[in-house]
């Protein structure tokens, strides 16, 4: 890799679901970058396209869904042009995914140790059993699982929900990935455990220079964990920037709405209150800015053409009438 610190460069990504009513653009022209070792929060309300974005990055979209356009450049290679076999080699090795439900990663009928060893042998077949066991124990210890060596002989159901998610995170970290995509992995956990896992993830990513895309509803989590944030609305990223900039002085009215709907004590685990109005339908998305029907500041032009991305240094946003606020 050159001096360029960009690890992932997503350009014009479009993913559609083919339905009877037409092609639903779940991801509708998404651009963002992730640098090596950087933690990026991908935030937005339910249905905004966060999970579909995460799955699209690593070729996990199944019919009726399809990535119909765009590039996902990972360390110089466009993943959209890779074969399924090439992608399988990357997944679980250089790129790992953590899901909201750890049972999407964990096989209920296999002992945790067997699954972890398998995750190593798949990508590094020359590893000895002894080396693999040592790595498994190390990974479980890293995520704070006590008595790691004996825990290898347990089945997933013998762990609590929080511990199971830690095991899934340990599996993701096993082969020291360069990028982890985490889709709301702590949403189902109680606030204290969520806080511990966030803290540990951040520490691990910093220690190993691992980049992390953390998908969440929760701006409190983003504030605690991330370096940068991308705010998603109706399949588009409507604002990006450093967490400090975006959360203290948002440009996009949707980001403002998300902030205003946060509980006053911005603790992780609190869900967003609803912003007034409905998310757009297919017909409503064909023209203009998708947020216009819910936007307090909309002008005539917003109904005509969707705003292009305006770039201001680290920050970018899609809005004709951006909020002007000083950083506090
Ligand atoms: N298998 C599918 N078939 C049809 N449409 C789908 C499918 N999966 C997702 N979609 C649509 O894609 C859009 C984006 O969904 P996505 O799951 O990415 O949202 P999200 O932002 O992750 O929401 P949540 O916060 O609820 O997880 C939604 O409108 C959803 O209805
Ligand atoms: Mg989702």
Instruction: Please state the atom number of ligand 1 nearest to the C-alpha of residue 62.
Output: 1
Matching residue, tokens 């800015």: 289
Q: Each residue's pLDDT tens digit in the chain (328 positions)?
A: 444 699 999 999 999 999 988 889 999 999 999 999 999 999 999 999 999 999 999 999 999 999 999 999 999 999 999 999 999 999 999 999 999 999 889 999 999 999 999 999 999 999 999 999 999 999 999 899 999 999 999 999 999 999 999 999 999 999 999 999 999 999 888 889 889 899 989 999 999 999 999 999 999 999 999 999 999 999 999 999 999 999 999 999 999 999 988 775 445 554 544 666 666 666 556 689 999 999 999 999 999 999 999 999 999 999 999 998 755 5
Task: For residue 1, tell me if it sits in a domain.
Answer: no
Tokens at 61, concatenated: 């979209």
Residues 286, 205: one domain? yes
CA of 17 to the centre of ligand 1 (A): 9
Contacts of 103 (CB under 8 A, 6+ apart): 156, 164
Residues 146, 187: one domain? no
* Closest to 145 (Cα-Cα) out of 128, 162, 163: 163
Pocket probe mutation, ligand 1, options 23, 26, 65, max atoms within 8 Å of Cβ: 26
Which among 150, 174, 198 is the end of a domain? 174
Proximal ligand: closest to the CA of 16: 1
Residue 309 is given by DSSP the state: P
Residues 222, 261: one domain? yes
Residues 170, 183: one domain? no
Q: In angstroms, rounded to a whole number, what is the distance separating the alpha carbons of residues 269 and 50? A: 18
Report whether residue 49 contacts ligand 1, using a CB cutoff of 6 Å: yes
Pocket probe mutation, ligand 1, options 19, 47, 67, max atoms within 8 Å of Cβ: 47
**What pLDDT sits at residue 22?**
86
Q: In angstroms, rounded to a whole number, what is the distance separating the alpha carbons of residues 288 and 86? A: 39
**What pLDDT sits at residue 38?**
98
Residues 109, 163: one domain? yes
Which among 157, 174, 191 is the end of a domain? 174
**What pLDDT sits at residue 188?**
83
This prediction's pTM: 0.93
Report whether residue 51 contacts ligand 1, using a CB cutoff of 6 Å: yes
Report whether residue 46 contacts ligand 1, using a CB cutoff of 6 Å: yes
Domain harbouring 86, CATH code: 3.40.50.300
Which among 132, 148, 174 is the end of a domain? 174
Task: For residue 210, tell me if it sits in a domain.
Answer: yes
Residues 73, 203: one domain? yes
The length of the chain in residues reads 328
Q: In angstroms, rounded to a whole number, what is the distance separating the alpha carbons of residues 206 and 211? A: 9
Question: How many CB atoms sit inside 10 A of residue 190's CB?
Answer: 11
The residue whose C-alpha atom lies closest to atom 6 belonging to ligand 1 is 17
Q: In angstroms, rounded to a whole number, what is the distance separating the alpha carbons of residues 156 and 153? A: 10
Evaluate whether 214 touches 53 at the Cβ level (below 8 Å).
no
Report whether residue 216 contacts ligand 1, using a CB cutoff of 6 Å: no
Instruction: Please state the atom number of ligand 1 nearest to the C-alpha of residue 217.
Output: 25
Report whether residue 65 contacts ligand 1, using a CB cutoff of 6 Å: yes
Proximal ligand: closest to the CA of 57: 1
Compute CA 111 distance to the chain's CA centroid, rounded to the nearest angstrom. 28
Residues 89, 228: one domain? yes
Task: For residue 75, tell me if it sits in a domain.
Answer: yes
The sheet with strand 6-19 has its strands ordered as 22-35, 6-19, 65-74, 77-78
Task: For residue 207, tell me if it sits in a domain.
Answer: yes
Task: For residue 328, tell me if it sits in a domain.
Answer: no
Pocket probe mutation, ligand 1, options 14, 48, 183, 231, max atoms within 8 Å of Cβ: 48
Q: In angstroms, rounded to a whole number, what is the distance separating the alpha carbons of residues 162 and 264? A: 26
* Closest to 167 (Cα-Cα) out of 157, 177, 181, 176: 157
Task: For residue 324, tell me if it sits in a domain.
Answer: no
Task: For residue 216, tell me if it sits in a domain.
Answer: yes
Residues 76, 113: one domain? no
**What pLDDT sits at residue 1?**
43
Task: For residue 325, tell me if it sits in a domain.
Answer: no
Matching residue, tokens 């109706």: 234
Q: In angstroms, rounded to a whole number, what is the distance separating the alpha carbons of residues 53 and 251? A: 23
Residue 303 is given by DSSP the state: G
Q: In angstroms, rounded to a whole number, what is the distance separating the alpha carbons of residues 176 and 257? A: 37
Structurally, the chain folds into a number of domains equal to 2
Matching residue, tokens 């929080």: 162
Contacts of 260 (CB under 8 A, 6+ apart): none
Residues 140, 67: one domain? no
Domain that holds residue 153: 103-174
**What pLDDT sits at residue 58?**
96
Q: How many helices (H) and strands (E) does the chain have?
A: 11, 12
Residues 190, 275: one domain? yes
Matching residue, tokens 């699209």: 56
Residues 32, 112: one domain? no
Q: In angstroms, rounded to a whole number, what is the distance separating the alpha carbons of residues 55 and 309? A: 24
DSSP-assigned beta bridge partners for residue 275: none
Residues 198, 265: one domain? yes
CA of 183 to the centre of ligand 2 (A): 7
CA of 191 to the centre of ligand 1 (A): 25
**Cis previous bond, 64, omega within 30:** yes
Q: In angstroms, rounded to a whole number, what is the distance separating the alpha carbons of residues 266 and 259? A: 10
Proximal ligand: closest to the CA of 183: 2
């Amino acid at each position: 890799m050159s001096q360029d610190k960009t690890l992932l460069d997503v350009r014009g990504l479009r993913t559609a679901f083919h339905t009877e009513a037409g092609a639903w653009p779940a991801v509708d022209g998404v651009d963002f970058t992730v640098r090596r070792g950087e933690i990026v929060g991908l935030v937005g309300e339910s249905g905004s396209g966060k999970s579909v974005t995460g799955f699209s990055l690593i070729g996990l979209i199944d019919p009726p869904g399809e990535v119909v356009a765009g590039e996902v450049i990972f360390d110089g290679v466009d993943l959209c042009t890779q074969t399924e076999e090439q992608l399988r080699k990357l997944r679980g090795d250089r790129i790992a995914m953590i899901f909201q439900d750890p049972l999407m990663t964990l096989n209920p009928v296999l002992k945790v140790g067997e699954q972890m060893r398998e995750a190593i042998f798949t990508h590094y077949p020359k590893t000895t059993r002894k080396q693999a066991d040592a790595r498994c124990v190390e990974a479980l210890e890293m995520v704070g699982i006590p008595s790691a060596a004996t825990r290898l002989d347990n089945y997933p159901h013998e762990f609590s929900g929080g511990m199971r998610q830690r095991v899934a995170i340990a599996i993701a970290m096993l082969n020291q990935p360069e990028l982890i995509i985490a889709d709301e992995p702590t949403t189902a956990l109680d606030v204290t455990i969520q806080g511990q896992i966030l803290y540990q993830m951040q520490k691990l990513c910093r220690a190993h220079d691992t980049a992390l895309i953390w998908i969440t509803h929760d701006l409190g989590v983003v504030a605690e964990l991330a370096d940068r944030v991308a705010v998603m609305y109706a399949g588009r990223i409507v604002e990006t920037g450093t967490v400090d900039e975006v959360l203290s002085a948002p440009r996009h009215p949707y980001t403002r709405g998300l902030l205003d709907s946060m509980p006053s004590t911005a603790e992780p685990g609190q869900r967003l209150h609803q912003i007034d109005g409905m998310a757009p339908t297919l017909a409503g998305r064909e023209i203009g800015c998708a947020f216009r029907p819910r936007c307090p500041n909309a002008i005539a032009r917003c109904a005509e053409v969707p705003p292009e991305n305006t770039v201001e240094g680290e920050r970018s946003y899609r809005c004709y009438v951006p909020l002007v606020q000083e950083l506090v």
